[in-house]
A and B are shown apart, each in its own frame.
Chain A
Amino acid sequence: MNAALHLAATLVLCVAAAGPLARARWVWRAPRIGILLWQMLGLSWALSAVGLLLALGLAPYDAPIPVALGRWAHDAVRGDVTPASVLVVLGLLSASDLLIGLLWTWCSVLRVRRRHRDVLALVARRDDAAPGAFVLDHPHPVAYCVPGTRSAVVLSSGALTALTRDQVDAVLGHEHAHGRERHDLVLLPFSALCEVLPKVRLVRAVAGAVALLVEMRADESASLRHGAQPLAAALRRFGSTPAPEGALGAADVAVAARLARLAGLPPLPALARWSVLVGGLLLVCTPVSFLVR
């Protein structure tokens, strides 16, 4: 019962922390730490949710979870099933649901990207104004990254005309950071979670918060190399299209937040960074210690 109590407490802590953390502004001051914290929080949540079901279902065995699971499987094969087995099966099912959701999202992402790359190879051109990038002839300004083992950065000709040389460099720096640091892999588990639990508002809020942090991390990387000014100017150019019908989309809020960050949010002090990291690690260790023994 000891394990179940600890796992339940971790689960409650993760869920309770998610809401405030999704709204928190202090993580903007250290996007990388924020991303790590979210990853640790997400991992703890998944492990303790699955672990709690297993711990409750395996309570009659009065043994550590891995040992008890082995005995349970042994008994189940012989047809000796207790009512608590429902919880064990539920735990195993939710674990496989999460894993399958992750794999499924990953496969469809890869499919979309492959098709995108194929078309890109046909219609994009190289341009000296945007070194290392593919240029698409379209008047609307866009800049994006097709992540992968060899990430491709794409700019539209509309973006090239709208931006100065400095701004183009800053935008390319931003997109290259996405590709280099494989931000798509950071986002993957969170979008997979949205697929598995589509109706949960908290999950959406969390995925949005992580996506914003990823953008801020790319901003941080680009502004270190090219300065905050050109990046902020480019962002204003891209984000300045008036929102129609009074609808201020999430994108506009995100752009405003990124501009505020670039305008000069002081970085988080080292002590705060370390305490956040240690706290997150302790959180992950709780479910892990019960599941691996």
Chain B
Amino acid sequence: MDVLWDRGEPVAVRDVVRALADRDLAYTTVMTVLNRLTKKGFVRREAGEGRAWYYAPVASREQYVARLMLDALSLTGDRETALAHFAQSMTPPEAEALSQALDER
């Protein structure tokens, strides 16, 4: 995922493998992970040159962090018992700013 975020453009599987060369991962492993991320809706898959698929992140890292923060502060309107937080500590203007950061795409 970090590789996809750093590139900022759709990446082919072999590029991800190359970027993670120090981890010594098999091509098929990386492909499986990317397909799984696609199925979960984190990554978008598009046809590129030739037969290879190109992958791109659906949202930025910051947007995901913002989403978690909204969840954590029970501001998303989801079930409050889903998470247990230490203390409520966000003022409405701050929460508003966080929501906006999430909406700006």
User: Interface residues, chain A, CB within 8 Å of chain B?
Assistant: 105, 108-109, 112-113, 116, 118-120, 122-123, 136-138, 140-147, 154, 156, 171, 174-175, 178-179, 183-184, 187-188, 191, 214, 218, 234-235, 238-244, 249, 251-252, 254-255
A238 & B89 in contact (Cβ 8 Å cutoff)? yes
A108 & B79 in contact (Cβ 8 Å cutoff)? yes
Task: Tell me how far the C-beta of B64 lies from the nearest C-beta in chain A, rounded to whole angstroms.
Answer: 5
Q: Say yes or no: is B67 at the interface (Cβ < 8 Å to chain A).
A: yes
Q: In whole angstroms, what is the CA distance A243 to B51 when docked?
A: 57
Which residues from A are CB-within-8-Å of B84?
144-145, 147, 175, 178-179, 183-184, 214, 218
User: Which chain B residues numbered 49 to 105 have a C-beta less than 8 Å away from chain A?
Assistant: 61, 64-69, 71-73, 78-94, 98
Nearest-CB residue, chain A, relative to B1: A122
Q: Say yes or no: is B40 at the interface (Cβ < 8 Å to chain A).
A: yes
Nearest-CB residue, chain B, relative to A171: B86
Nearest-CB residue, chain B, relative to A155: B86
A138 & B86 in contact (Cβ 8 Å cutoff)? no
A241 & B90 in contact (Cβ 8 Å cutoff)? yes
B86 & A244 in contact (Cβ 8 Å cutoff)? no
Task: Tell me how far the C-beta of A273 lies from the nearest C-beta in chain B, rounded to whole angstroms.
Answer: 25
User: Interface residues, chain B, CB within 8 Å of chain A?
Assistant: 1, 40, 42, 61, 64-69, 71-73, 78-94, 98
Q: In whole angstroms, what is the CA distance A67 to B92 when docked?
A: 57
What are 29 sample pairs from A and B whose C-beta atoms fall under 8 A apart? A108-B78, A109-B81, A118-B42, A119-B64, A120-B68, A122-B1, A123-B64, A123-B68, A138-B65, A138-B66, A140-B94, A142-B72, A142-B73, A142-B85, A144-B83, A144-B84, A145-B83, A145-B85, A146-B83, A147-B83, A175-B84, A178-B84, A183-B84, A214-B84, A234-B86, A238-B86, A239-B87, A239-B89, A251-B87
Among B71, B72, B91, B98, point to the contact of A243 (Cβ < 8 A): B91
Closest 8 CB pairs of A and B: A251-B88, A238-B87, A143-B86, A144-B85, A112-B82, A178-B84, A238-B89, A187-B81
A136 & B65 in contact (Cβ 8 Å cutoff)? yes
Task: Tell me how far the C-beta of B84 lies from the nearest C-beta in chain A, rounded to whole angstroms.
Answer: 4
Which residues from B are CB-within-8-Å of A254?
88
- Greatest chain A CB density within 10 A among B68, B87, B93, B98 is at B87
Q: In whole angstroms, what is the CA distance A145 to B82 when docked?
A: 9
